[in-house]
Amino acid sequence: IKEARACSGCGVTLQTEHSEQPGYVPAKALERTPIICQRCFRIKHYNEAASVAIDQDEFLRMLGRIGKEDALVIHIVDLFDFDGSVISGLQRFVGTNPVLLVVNKIDLLPKATNWNRITNWVQRQAKEHGLRIVDVILVSAKRNLGFDRLVDQVGEWRQRRDVYVVGATNVGKSTLINRLINDYSDMEQELTTSRYPGTTLDVVHIPLDDGKHIIDTPGIVYPSRMTELAHRDDLGALLPDKPLKPAVYQLNEGQTLFFGAFARFDFVEGERQSFTCYVSNGLPIHRTKLERADELYRDHRGDMLAPPTRERVDELPAWTKHQFRIARGSETDVFISGLGWVTCNGTTGALVEVHAPKGVKVLTRHSLL
Ligand code: GDP
């Protein structure tokens, strides 16, 4: 048994197995001295933050400590997976510290979107998740949208305090942090990492001009998101990178839509009506009869119904069924965390069912668009 070694940069225990987890170092790099983890390596050599993930317990411990400090908290969520990436318990942990809610990936919505409406929607959802936020800022880290306002609001709210950036994995936190590094790049000082007190976590400090820092924290893993259950190689199909193209289906009752082999949506009962799907365009939608759906899945998951491919499709947990009654006259999204959502236009009401891997969060919400 090899002796556990620590990163000489941040002190985290080194491991060579899981590249997304703290302390990862490629096996080859173990021959170098001093040994530093990949994250420290990137920060040191490229001044670039990379994502690391941690589990909920450790994450909550970290939040608890932030609550004891006087700081501004930036909570970054993914607009595409809002209900899957929002940290519901955040308020209890951060105490009285102000929270700025940064909603990333707005480039995925059509250019003609009514942004005030989106902001109101976010405010309302945030409230339902128990968050008290001082402001909502819509951004796209990838397309560089909304950063002027973000930098302004950070300046306004932080009042000579440290700024903690918290979020789930894959929300675009590293992309955003790297943008912020560029925005603050006139700084002379270097980025540093250090172990977060009382935890095994390393955090990245971006120096601000008054001796305070923007502190990037590891991303929390929520196993209730399809993007966490899926194989890394299928993330490209699940995570959209172009504006979402709504796919409208006129369905009769007794029809089913498959989203690759990740999930399925059944229109069980109701008058003929339209359903609008918002999923990554890397994910083919297949329409069939409900009465054939079980058989089709049994025989064709991994080929006609893909991704995931044959080799990977059975690595996902078995499906469970969620039933929803959509009220007449309501604009409702049936939301599948990490996969997208189906908007029921609700002119006449409907009974629908979703089959998705066990553990994936499936819910209805007031429609986003
Ligand atoms: P982290 O795990 O939160 O640090 O997330 P990353 O920064 O690694 O980003 C996760 C995924 O989301 C990557 O595929 C990014 O390319 C993508 N991403 C990040 N920001 C944006 C954005 O503003 N728009 C879109 N469409 N994708 C983004």
Residue 320 lies in a domain: yes
Answer yes or no: do 192 and 78 share one domain. Answer: yes
Answer yes or no: do 57 and 126 share one domain. Answer: yes
Residue-wise pLDDT for 267-321, tens only, equals 999 999 999 999 999 999 999 999 999 999 999 999 999 999 999 999 899 999 9
Residue 180 lies in a domain: yes
Answer yes or no: do 190 and 245 share one domain. Answer: no
Q: Which has the higher per-residue pLDDT, 252 or 182?
A: 252
pLDDT exceeds cutoff 50 at 1: no
**Stretch 98-104: mean pLDDT:** 97
How far apart are the CA of 176 and the centre of ligand 1, in A? 8
Please name the amino acid found at residue 297: Y
How far apart are the CA of 50 and the centre of ligand 1, in A? 11
Residue 6 lies in a domain: no
Please name the amino acid found at residue 139: V
Residue 1 lies in a domain: no
Residue 55: which pLDDT band, with cuts at 50, 70 and 90?
confident
Question: Which protein residue has the closest C-alpha to ligand 1 atom 18?
Answer: 172
Ligand 1 atom index nearest CA of 143:
23
Question: What span, in angstroms and rounded, lies between the C-alpha atoms of 100 and 82?
Answer: 15
**Stretch 209-220: mean pLDDT:** 86
Residue 27 lies in a domain: no
Residue 11 lies in a domain: no
Identify whether the C-beta of residue 89 lies closer than 8 Å to the C-beta of residue 99: no
What pLDDT score was predicted for residue 211? 86
- Please choose from 19, 24, 138, 142 the residue to mutate so as to test ligand 1's pocket, defined by most ligand atoms within 8 A of CB: 142
CATH, residue 148: 3.40.50.300
Answer yes or no: do 70 and 168 share one domain. Answer: yes
What pLDDT score was predicted for residue 330? 87
How far apart are the CA of 45 and the centre of ligand 1, in A? 22
What pLDDT score was predicted for residue 39? 78
Most confident residue range from 9-18, 54-63, 161-170: 161-170
Domain extent, residue 190, equals: 53-222
What pLDDT score was predicted for residue 218? 83
pLDDT, the chain, mean: 88
Pocket (CB within 6 angstroms of ligand 1): 51, 104-105, 107-108, 140-143, 167, 169-175, 219, 239, 241
What pLDDT score was predicted for residue 198? 53
pLDDT exceeds cutoff 60 at 132: yes
Residue 165 lies in a domain: yes
Domain end, chosen from 197, 222, 247, is at 222
What pLDDT score was predicted for residue 250? 96
Residue-wise pLDDT for 163-201, tens only, equals 999 999 889 988 888 888 777 655 555 555 555 555 556
Answer yes or no: do 168 and 307 share one domain. Answer: no
Residue 21: which pLDDT band, with cuts at 50, 70 and 90?
confident
If one counts the domains in the chain, the total is 2
Answer yes or no: do 211 and 252 share one domain. Answer: no
Question: Which protein residue has the closest C-alpha to ligand 1 atom 2?
Answer: 170
Domain end, chosen from 188, 222, 256, is at 222
**Stretch 86-104: mean pLDDT:** 91
Answer yes or no: do 89 and 109 share one domain. Answer: yes
Angle at the Cα of 22 from the Cα atoms of 18 and 27, rounded to 5 degrees: 50
Answer yes or no: do 257 and 119 share one domain. Answer: no
Residue 22 lies in a domain: no
Residue 95: which pLDDT band, with cuts at 50, 70 and 90?
confident
How far apart are the CA of 144 and the centre of ligand 1, in A? 12
Question: Which protein residue has the closest C-alpha to ligand 1 atom 24?
Answer: 105
Ligand 1 atom index nearest CA of 173:
3
Domain end, chosen from 163, 191, 222, is at 222
Answer yes or no: do 233 and 201 share one domain. Answer: no
Residue 327: which pLDDT band, with cuts at 50, 70 and 90?
very high
Identify whether the C-beta of residue 360 lies closer than 8 Å to the C-beta of residue 263: yes
